[in-house]
């Protein structure tokens, strides 16, 4: 039985693409409320692992447990359902709708999940320090502000697991710092965060670093 305090656990997780073993017998365990950085060279398997953990892909063999649920054998619909309820995603590219305001972009995520609810969308934007920019369009916001709208969008449905793949990859230092502060604030609130990064400064801000090398977990 998986302990309820474990948010994410993989057992002998392997993902092959033809002859390529992108993920090789990976065992990881992440506690609820932990802030983990996932690091490794280009091609080491970070995105492959993230795609399986976020139910966008499934493994060739091994098991994945998310919030105590065995997600290994989910079919397409179960994966979609689980993702909507349990997972918030932040990408390097912002993927904001250009003709919708910050507030509307966040409310759109609610619409896809359940029903739009303006007060809680406002609250999510306030939480990431964007309460003063609700009516701005994406092109009226700085890169860091756009990324914080994306974080609000990932948070608004209250997912217990937050995944970010290179969330500051497109940002300058100042905006990187603000986005990082936002993640640290969310961590202080007790959310579980897994962040892929190449940046050792960002990695150093996490509680723990999981390192991948040629598809294997090395620490
Ligand atoms: N859909 C696919 N088909 C074939 N090979 C793939 C596929 N996706 C990934 N790979 C291979 O699996 C390995 C791991 O790729 P992955 O994208 O997980 O690396 P990464 O650590 O995220 O790299 P980066 O830091 O460049 O984003 C690479 O050798 C890659 O070429
Ligand atoms: Mg990648």
pLDDT at residue 137, as a whole number: 97
Q: How far apart are CA 13 and CA 215, in angstroms?
A: 10
Ligand 1 center–CA 43 separation, angstroms: 5
Whether 204 and 176 have beta carbons less than 8 Å apart is answered as: no
pLDDT at residue 40, as a whole number: 95
Token pair listed for 37: 């950085």
Domain ranges, ordered by start, for the chain? 6-217
Ligand 1 center–CA 47 separation, angstroms: 7
Mutate to test the pocket of ligand 1, among 24, 47, 166, 203 (most ligand atoms within 8 A of CB): 47
pLDDT tens for the chain, 219 residues long, are: 555 699 999 999 999 999 999 999 999 999 999 999 999 999 999 999 999 999 999 999 999 999 999 999 899 999 999 998 899 999 888 899 999 999 999 999 999 888 899 999 999 999 888 999 999 999 999 989 999 999 999 989 889 899 999 888 878 888 888 888 888 988 998 899 999 998 888 899 899 999 999 999 998
Token pair listed for 32: 């609820």
What ranges make up the beta strands (E) of 18-131? 20-26, 29-31, 35-39, 61-66, 69-70, 87-90
Whether 197 and 166 have beta carbons less than 8 Å apart is answered as: yes
pLDDT at residue 4, as a whole number: 61
pLDDT at residue 168, as a whole number: 86
Mutate to test the pocket of ligand 1, among 23, 48, 49, 170 (most ligand atoms within 8 A of CB): 48
Architecture of domain 6-217: 3-Layer(aba) Sandwich (3.40)
pLDDT at residue 37, as a whole number: 96
- Whether ligand 1 lies within 6 angstroms of the CB of 75 is answered as no
pLDDT at residue 84, as a whole number: 87
- Whether ligand 1 lies within 6 angstroms of the CB of 47 is answered as yes
Whether 27 and 199 have beta carbons less than 8 Å apart is answered as: no
DSSP 8-state symbol, 55: T
Q: Which residues contact 166 (CB under 8 A, 6 or more apart)?
A: 91, 92, 196, 197, 198
Nearest bound ligand to the CA of residue 16: 1
């Amino acid at each position: 039985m998986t302990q309820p305090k474990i948010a994410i656990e993989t057992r002998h997780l392997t993902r092959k693409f033809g002859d390529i073993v992108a993920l090789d017998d990976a065992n990881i365990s992440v506690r609820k409320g932990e802030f983990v950085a996932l690091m490794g060279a280009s091609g080491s398997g970070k995105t492959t692992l993230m795609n399986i953990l976020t139910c966008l892909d499934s493994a060739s063999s091994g098991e994945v447990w998310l919030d105590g649920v065995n997600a290994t054998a989910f079919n397409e619909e179960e994966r979609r359902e689980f993702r909507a309820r349990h997972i918030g995603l932040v990408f390097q590219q912002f993927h904001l709708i250009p003709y919708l305001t910050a507030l509307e972009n966040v409310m759109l995520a609610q619409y896809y999940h359940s029903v739009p609810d303006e007060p809680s969308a406002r609250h999510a934007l306030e939480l990431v320090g964007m309460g003063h920019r609700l009516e701005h369009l994406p092109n009226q916001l700085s890169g860091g502000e756009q990324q914080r709208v994306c974080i609000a969008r990932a948070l608004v449905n209250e997912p217990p697991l937050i995944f970010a793949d290179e969330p500051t990859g497109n940002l300058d230092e100042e905006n990187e710092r603000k986005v990082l502060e936002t993640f640290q604030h969310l961590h202080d609130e007790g959310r579980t965060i897994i962040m892929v990064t190449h940046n050792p400064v960002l990695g150093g801000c996490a509680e723990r670093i999981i390192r991948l090398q040629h598809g294997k977990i090395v620490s």
